[in-house]
Structure 1
Amino acid sequence: MSAERSTAARDNQEGLHPTQALDDTVHQRVRLGVLTVAREADLVEFSFLKKQLAVTDGNLSRHLKVLEESGMITVEKGYAGRRPRTWISLTREGAQALDAELRALRALVLRLETPRPVPDAPDR
Structure 2
Amino acid sequence: MIEGIDPVIHVPKRLAAMAILANAPSASFRFLRDHLRISESDLSKQMSTLEAAGYVRSTKDGHGRGGTTTYRMTAAGDQAYKTHCAALRALLDGVVPQQQ
The reply on whether 1:87 has 2:70 as its aligned counterpart is yes
The reply on whether 1:103 has 2:75 as its aligned counterpart is no
- Which of the numbers 3, 18, 24 marks the counterpart of 2:7? 24
Tell me how large the CA RMSD over aligned residues is.
Answer: 1.6
Give the structure 2 partner of residue 54 of structure 1.
37
Cα displacement (A) at 1:40 = 1.1
**Where does structure 1 differ by over 3 angstroms across 4 or more consecutive aligned residues?**
none
Question: If the length of structure 2 is used for normalisation, what is the TM-score?
Answer: 0.87
Give the structure 2 partner of residue 73 of structure 1.
56
Cα displacement (A) at 1:63 = 0.6
Q: Residues 26-49 of structure 1, C-alpha deviation per residue, up to 9 Å, x if partnerless?
A: 100111111110111101000000
Give the structure 2 partner of residue 45 of structure 1.
28
Q: Residues 59-100 of structure 1, C-alpha deviation per residue, up to 9 Å, x if partnerless?
A: 000011100010000011003xx9210000000000001001
Give the structure 2 partner of residue 36 of structure 1.
19
Identity of aligned residues (%): 28
How far apart are the structure 1 equivalents of 2:10 and 2:38? Answer: 17
Unaligned 5+ segments in structure 2 are: 96-100
How far apart are the structure 1 equivalents of 2:89 and 2:20? Answer: 19
Q: Which amino acid aligns with 1:71?
A: G
Give the structure 2 partner of residue 9 of structure 1.
none
If you compute each CA radius of gyration, which structure gives the higher value, 1 or 2? 1
